[in-house]
Chain A
Amino acid sequence: MSFFAFLGMQYDFQWSVLWTGERGQWLLQGILTTLRLSLTSWVIACALGILSGALRTVPWKPLRLLAAVYVEFFRNVPLLVWLFFWYFGVPQALPRAAQDWLNHHGPEFWSAVAGLSVYHGARISEVIRAGIQSVPKTLLEASVATGLSVLQAYRLIVVPIALRLIVPPATNESLNLLKNSSLALTIGVAELTFMTRQIETYTAKAFEALTAGTLIYLVLCLGIASIMGQVERRFRIPGLIARAGRAEH
């Protein structure tokens, strides 16, 4: 009998709907799609974010402006709108042959990847910029004074330090990306939330399906948080972010 019985809820729980028949497989497929979608988008988003975050701090205005335009344009429009834009809008601009090709190679998934990575790239960019700007300017000047070029100073000194400083906010962004990937169901990507809704549709057991979804997201997010925690400890520079190491996050 159910845990909710004492609350008087008129609902008969049947947790077995989550694994009987092909439904366990659906959930598994959903988890895999969510991970594939999030991971692909995360890699691209990080690349975009690091590039544009670094560009926003370089001592050359046109590049700073370019990066600022990218960030402000993409982070100030809701992700849902971007997903529709990439799925319904962008392919229209392509030639007919490219559209046909795309239609046979999972346009839903790749539109979702485009939407998530460009949107989160803009957000990660801000995190990176904050990290770089928290590295004292004198450090850049000192590096250049040792004979490094500005590009080398960025690549070898400034960005590596900044990346270590921003692990906690970057964890936050990564978790957001994973959770936001659930919006991809609006353009027909069969990810985890989609699959829980599918189970609900087939079995009319909404609470079980939603609970399963909630717990799986929780486990995935806690997993990522703990991996990022290990990354933080592993790459810590003694004396620089030692305080962050002690603080509860």
Chain B
Amino acid sequence: MRKIVSLLLGGLVILGLTAAGWAGETTLDKIGRTGVFTVGTRTSSPPFGYINKQNEWGGFSVDLARLVHKAIEKRLNKSIKFELKESTPATRIPLLSSGAVDLIAGTMTDTRPRRDSVDFSLTFFVTGAQFLVKEGSPIRGIQDIAGKRVGAQQGSTNERIIRERVPQAQLVVFPDQPAGFTALVQGRVDTYTNDGIQLYGLKYKAPNPNEWKIVGDFYSYEPYGMAMRKNDSDFRAVVNNALMEALEGGEYFKSYDKWFGPRSETPYPLSDTVKRFLMMQVVPK
């Protein structure tokens, strides 16, 4: 027993030493000291953060993070290395807290409980949850899923809403998107639910995109934000200013067109309401 206790204590000391490494340091100080800006993003959430068929890691969120990177370089007045790191819904908050990444730029919905643990940038994308079904499926929206086997991604806000609103649905929760989609393709589940835009990404990646369709009205509101460590308002201001400048200067919309425009792989037109909402977040200079 004494052995176990001393082992545990040893583990805690190691944990403590790693934590002490960056204790009290602001994110900007840390980036300035190490010369590296590390962004946590996804590898399988097209078109926000994913590895494409040419094996390049990029996406809309990554593009926006690059704009933040430029703003940091300008602010610190030195060249900083831009690094990407895989972060899943389950790992992203620990990665931030431990200092392994400085910013999460993926598909993270800004929610009130999450704001207890991390700070969010302004909203850079708005979507809502829908359902992905095989052509010919009787499911047309959240009203049809009672008794059906519904696949969802762990860590997503929509999993939680289904649990609360349709407890009769048989929810099968997968840790990542590919497993959930495979389960749908193989018929293990009747439908797979996630944020609408991510379903379009899956449909595009499917071997036969025409076999699949996205159904139902948005049954949730999913405003995406970039997440950072709490109580670091200087860094947060740099991130937010970079996003505001991108919205104001048009880089945001250029990038939007690249990833969601009519000629992109996942066309997703920006509605006037969403556009107005995004622009109203831009405060005056």
A in complex with B: yes
Among A88, A91, A194, A204: residue with most chain B CB under 10 A: A204
Q: Are A107 and B179 in contact, with the CB atoms below 8 A?
A: no
CB of B173 closer than 8 Å to a CB of A = yes
CB of A23 closer than 8 Å to a CB of B = no
A9 and B187 CA atoms in complex are apart in Å by 46
Task: Give A197's nearest chain B residue, CB to CB.
Answer: B90
The total of Cβ contacts below 8 Å across the A-B interface reads 87
A99 and B183 CA atoms in complex are apart in Å by 13
Chain B positions within 8 Å of A92 at CB level: 186
CB of B241 closer than 8 Å to a CB of A = no
Q: Are A205 and B90 in contact, with the CB atoms below 8 A?
A: no
Q: Are B113 and A204 in contact, with the CB atoms below 8 A?
A: yes
Q: Are A10 and B16 in contact, with the CB atoms below 8 A?
A: no
Closest chain-B Cβ to A188's Cβ sits at a distance in Å of 4
CB of A135 closer than 8 Å to a CB of B = no
Q: Produce 1/0 per residue, B183-220, CB < 8 A to A.
A: 10011100000000000000000000000000000000
Q: Are B174 and A186 in contact, with the CB atoms below 8 A?
A: yes
Segment from B64-72, B114-122, B135-143 that makes contact with A: B114-122
Q: Are A202 and B94 in contact, with the CB atoms below 8 A?
A: no
Q: Produce 1/0 per residue, A1-29, CB < 8 A to B.
A: 00010011111100000000000000000
Chain B contact-residue range equals 35 or more
Closest chain-A Cβ to B92's Cβ sits at a distance in Å of 9
Q: Given A205-B117, A207-B97: A8 and B149 within 8 A (CB)?
A: no
CB of B89 closer than 8 Å to a CB of A = yes
Q: Are B154 and A197 in contact, with the CB atoms below 8 A?
A: yes
Q: Produce 1/0 per residue, A185-201, CB < 8 A to B.
A: 11110100010011011
A206 and B113 CA atoms in complex are apart in Å by 12
Closest chain-B Cβ to A231's Cβ sits at a distance in Å of 20
Q: Are B20 and A108 in contact, with the CB atoms below 8 A?
A: no
- Interface SS majority for chain A: helix
CB of A103 closer than 8 Å to a CB of B = yes
CB of A203 closer than 8 Å to a CB of B = yes
Chain A positions within 8 Å of B179 at CB level: 186-188
Q: Are A7 and B188 in contact, with the CB atoms below 8 A?
A: no
Q: Are B23 and A8 in contact, with the CB atoms below 8 A?
A: yes
Chain A positions within 8 Å of B187 at CB level: 99, 103
Q: Given A7-B16, A88-B186: A207 and B94 within 8 A (CB)?
A: yes
Cβ contact of B182, chosen from A7, A11, A88, cutoff 8 A: A88
Q: Are A200 and B90 in contact, with the CB atoms below 8 A?
A: yes
Q: Are A188 and B89 in contact, with the CB atoms below 8 A?
A: no
CB of A42 closer than 8 Å to a CB of B = no
Chain B positions within 8 Å of A202 at CB level: 113, 160
Chain A positions within 8 Å of B183 at CB level: 87-88, 188
Among B19, B113, B188: residue with most chain A CB under 10 A: B188
Given A91-B186, A197-B154, 12 more A-B residue pairs with CB atoms under 8 Å apart are A8-B23, A8-B24, A9-B19, A92-B186, A103-B188, A188-B172, A194-B154, A201-B154, A201-B159, A204-B118, A206-B94, A210-B94
> Would you mind naming 12 contact pairs between A and B with Cβ atoms under 8 Å apart?
A4-B16, A7-B20, A10-B231, A87-B188, A103-B188, A185-B175, A187-B179, A190-B173, A194-B173, A200-B155, A202-B113, A206-B117
- Listed from nearest, the 7 A-B pairs whose CB atoms lie closest are A8-B23, A204-B117, A7-B16, A9-B19, A206-B94, A188-B172, A201-B155
